[in-house]
Amino acid sequence: MRTRIVCLVVLMLLVFLPVGMAEEQPVFADLRTMAPAGTFLGPGQEPVYDTNSYRSEHIAITISKERVDQADVTIADIYVTSVQYLRRAFSAGAWRKPADRVSSIALSNNAILAISGDYASLLDAGLVAANGEIYRKSDNKARDNCLIFTDGRMVTYPRRAMKSAEMMTDDLWHSFLFGPRLLDDDGQPFPKFDSKVGVANPRSVIGYYAPGHYCFVLVDGRSSQSKGLAMTPLSRFMSELGCKQAYNLDGGQSAMMYFRGEIITEPYNGGRKISDIVYIGLQ
């Protein structure tokens, strides 16, 4: 009788826990040696930071600004010792809750650096994975996909190239669904796009150089000072940065970058509330 009760309890936990909660904790690759010597501080050292940089035992961020095709572009160059410090967070701490401000989501998750996410909750279908947890398993044939794995790799796929079942591997850490992808499989820019948001706009982008080395790119737009970037020049710029892969996230009025307690870019019309962020932090 006792054995039957224990089995029933275990079965109930597996049924009622959120998708992914019953799975084993992910195993992360140590990416420290992938970064140049001196990138990170030594064990136990207090973080060092200023208005444009942050360094700790596990995270190194350098922020710069460029002027590209009449647009103001902010680039955050990022190194992490493990991809566990490259995270996603949802508004109100849960998938599909009411939207909130980027700064509020970032503060509640102890984010050091953050940009707007992919707003996949607005879409009816498509794989959604965040911090190793699967929230939705369906396919979306209209969207390019971006995946980040626990070994630090980031890959992008053109629409219809992969089904969600193929993408849900044990080492999947994040999946993104907004798109499109901005570079081809060889890291080369695309000469044209068929995206409905292809004209000049504010942009949020995640770029990938190598495991443990990424960038967040934020393009201000829709103003007399900064018009934004169309997809083709944005693709070209990500290639010029040296990225091997790059993926477009939620832009427009959502596009903004947060660093150490404040928004450091100029979001259109003050920005808007969104459902999720991509961030660098310890939580």
pLDDT 10s digits, 173-188: 999 999 999 999 999 9
Kindly report the pTM of this predicted structure: 0.90
Instruction: Average the pLDDT over 65-88 and give the result.
Output: 97
The residue among 225, 189, 224 whose CA lies nearest residue 205 is 189
- The whole-number pLDDT of residue 26 equals 87
- The whole-number pLDDT of residue 13 equals 43
Q: Over 60: is that where the pLDDT of 217 sits? A: yes
- The whole-number pLDDT of residue 4 equals 54
Question: Contact at 8 Å (CB) between 212 and 79?
Answer: yes
HEC assignment per residue over 230-268: CHHHHHHHHHHCCCCEEEECCCHHHCCEEECCEECCCCH
pLDDT 10s digits, 123-147: 999 999 999 999 999 999 999 999 9
- The whole-number pLDDT of residue 213 equals 98
